[in-house]
Amino acid sequence: MTDHTDKKIWILHHTATPPSLNGFTRPYDFALNLQPLGYEVEVFAASHLHYANYNLIDDRRLFLTKKEKGVGFTFVKTLSSSDNGIKRIMNMLDYYRNVLKVIKRMSKQGNKPNLIIASSPHPLAMLAGIKASKKLKVPCICEVRDFWPEVFFIGGRLKEKSLIGRLLVKGEYWIYKHADAMIFLKEGDYTYLTDKKWDIEQGGQVDLKKCHYINNGVDLKAFDRRMKEDIIDDPDLEGDHFKVIYAGAIRPVNNVDNILDAAEHLLDHKAIRFYIYGDGNQLDRLKKRAVDEGLTNVVFKGYIEKQYIPYVLSKASVNILNYSQSMYNWSRGNSSNKLFEYMASGKPIISTVKMGYSLIDRYDCGLSLDEDRPENLAKAVLQLYELPKEAYDQMGHNGRMGVRDFDYKALTNKLVSVIESL
C-alpha cells in the first residue's frame, strides 16, 4: 500500500462500536487517528451488541450503517445472544456468513478496500477476512486478541486432544499461515507459535517476520477531558480515606471474591475502604456475602457509564487489576484496556497476578502479587497505604508517563508501519 491517493481499510471486528454504544472502541480509536493520515476506515460489526444485550436490527435488513466523527460502521445482522451457549455460537456463525454477504454486495457495487484487518477473539472473523481478501485481491491483517481455542482448553470446557479440539487447532494454524500479516496484542504472544513449533525456523509454515505487537491503549486526550468534565457527585470519592477501587466485570475470571477476602483482613483499618464498580453474573451473590459477613469496608457501586470511569479512577488511592491466576495464561502479558486506564489515572496499581512482560514492573507503577491469595492482596494494599508520600506519588507518575507509549496516536503509528509493509 504505497499509493497514498486511495487508502481504504475495512476492519472486521465482531464487538466493535463507536463510543456512543457499548462495546470495544479499539477500531474506532485507530480510525480516528488514521483519518488525518489520509485513510478511510469502515468497521464491520455485529448488530447484536453483546455487552448491552441489545440488537440494532429487528427486521429483515441484512445490515445498517452508522457514521460517527467520520468513522463508518456497518452493523451486520446477527442473532441476539447474551450467553456463552449454543446461541452465542450461532451468533458468531451469523456474523461470518452475513459479513461475507455484505462484502460481496458492496464489491459488486464497486466498493472495495485496499486492505482488510480482521480481528478475533473468535476465529471466524479472521476466516471471513482472509476469504474476502482473496476474492478482492487485497492483503489481510489478522489481529489476535485471544487465542481460541486455548481459552477453552484452560477453562476445561474442551479437551485439546478431542476431535473438536484438534479440528479447531488445525483451523487456527491455517488462519495464521494464510494471513498476510498478524498483530498480537500481548508482547509475548509470538511464543504461542514457537511453543507449537508453527514457525518456519522449527519447520512450520508461519513466518515470524509477519508478526507484530500492538497492545491496547487509551486516548489520553479524551481520557483527560472526561476526567475533568464527566464528574460524579459521590461523597465516597471525596475525603482523605484510602480508596481501593476495582472497576470491571464481576464474573468468575475476575475473581472478585478475592477482593472481599482481602477486605476482611483489613476490617480493623478504618481508613481503608473498597469500592467495587461493575456488573456481572456474580454481583448479587457477592453483595449478599458482604452483608452476611459484615464487610462494612466494602461498597458495591454497580454499573457505571464509561465516560465516568476516568474521574472515578482519578479519585482512587489504588486501582486493582483483579484476576484468577488459573483461568487464563498470563505468561505472555496483558492487553486489558483497564490496565491502560489505570495507568492514565496517575494512581498506583495492584495486580493480583504476576504476568509475563509486565508493564507494571517495566514502568514501576504498582505492585504485582506472586500468588493471588487474599492475604497477599491485603498486604499489598497496606504497603501502599503506608508508603511515604514521595514514593507513592512517584509510582503514580510513572504510570502516567509510561502510558504515553500506549496512547492511540503512538499505537496508530505502529499500525501504519504494518499497513505500509504490505
pLDDT tens for residues 323-382? 877 777 899 999 999 999 999 999 999 999 999 999 999 999 999 999 889 999 999 999
- Which residue did the predictor score with more confidence, 23 or 355? 355
Q: What is the pLDDT of residues 409-419, one digit of tens each?
A: 999 999 999 99
CATH code (residue 151): 3.40.50.2000
Q: What is the pLDDT of residues 72-104, one digit of tens each?
A: 999 999 999 866 678 888 999 999 999 999 999
Give the per-residue pLDDT at 329.
84
* pLDDT band, very low/low/confident/very high, at 252 (cuts 50, 70, 90): confident
Give the per-residue pLDDT at 149.
82
Lowest mean pLDDT among 61-65, 104-108, 153-157: 153-157
Say which residues have a Cβ less than 8 Å from residue 285's Cβ, sequence separation at least 6.
none
Give the per-residue pLDDT at 251.
84
Cell of 326: 488459573
> Does some domain include residue 356?
yes
Mean pLDDT of 62-67: 96
> Does some domain include residue 2?
no
Q: Which residues span the domain enclosing 353?
A: 220-405
Percent of the chain clearing pLDDT 90 (strictly above):
81
Q: What is the pLDDT of residues 302-332, one digit of tens each?
A: 988 889 999 999 999 999 999 877 777 899 9
Mean pLDDT of 236-251: 93
Mean pLDDT of 156-169: 86
Q: Are residues 130 and 181 in the same domain?
A: yes
pTM of the predicted protein model: 0.92
* Residue tagged 481508613 (cell numbers): 271
Q: Are residues 178 and 263 in the same domain?
A: no
* pLDDT band, very low/low/confident/very high, at 150 (cuts 50, 70, 90): confident
Total structural domains within the chain: 2
With 0-12 CB in 10 A as exposed, 13-18 as middle and 19+ as buried, what is 144?
buried
- As a whole number of angstroms, the longest Cα–Cα distance in the chain is 69
Q: Are residues 27 and 120 in the same domain?
A: yes
* pLDDT band, very low/low/confident/very high, at 158 (cuts 50, 70, 90): confident
Nearest partner of 366 among 333, 408, 327, 394, judged by Cα = 394
pLDDT surpasses 70 at 44? yes
Q: Are residues 210 and 224 in the same domain?
A: no
Give the residues across from 23 on adjacent strands: none
Taking residue 286's Cβ as centre, other Cβ atoms within 10 Å add up to 19
> Does some domain include residue 88?
yes
Give the per-residue pLDDT at 2.
42
Q: Are residues 185 and 294 in the same domain?
A: no
Nearest partner of 383 among 262, 206, 218, 231, judged by Cα = 262
Mean pLDDT of 168-191: 96
3-class DSSP state of 54: strand
pLDDT surpasses 60 at 5? no
pLDDT surpasses 60 at 244? yes
Q: Are residues 230 and 274 in the same domain?
A: yes
By DSSP bridging, strand 71-76 and strand 63-68 are antiparallel
* Residue tagged 492483503 (cell numbers): 139
Give the per-residue pLDDT at 382.
98
pLDDT surpasses 60 at 4? no
Q: What is the pLDDT of residues 254-312, one digit of tens each?
A: 889 999 999 999 999 999 999 999 988 899 999 999 999 999 999 999 988 889 999 99
Q: Are residues 143 and 106 in the same domain?
A: yes
Give the per-residue pLDDT at 98.
97
> Does some domain include residue 45?
yes
Distance CA 50, CA 88 (A): 9
> Does some domain include residue 3?
no
> Does some domain include residue 241?
yes
> Does some domain include residue 284?
yes
Nearest partner of 272 among 317, 229, 230, 310, judged by Cα = 317
Q: Are residues 269 and 354 in the same domain?
A: yes
> Does some domain include residue 47?
yes
Q: Are residues 159 and 174 in the same domain?
A: yes
DSSP letter (8 states) at residue 289 = H
Give the per-residue pLDDT at 6.
74
Mean pLDDT of 197-203: 97
> In 112-162, which ranges are continuous DSSP H helix?
123-136, 150-155
Q: Are residues 255 and 298 in the same domain?
A: yes
pLDDT surpasses 60 at 1? no
Say which residues have a Cβ less than 8 Å from residue 222's Cβ, sequence separation at least 6.
none
Give the per-residue pLDDT at 211.
97
CA angle 307, 299, 233 (to 5 degrees): 45
Q: Are residues 329 and 304 in the same domain?
A: yes
Average pLDDT in the chain:
93
Q: Are residues 57 and 131 in the same domain?
A: yes
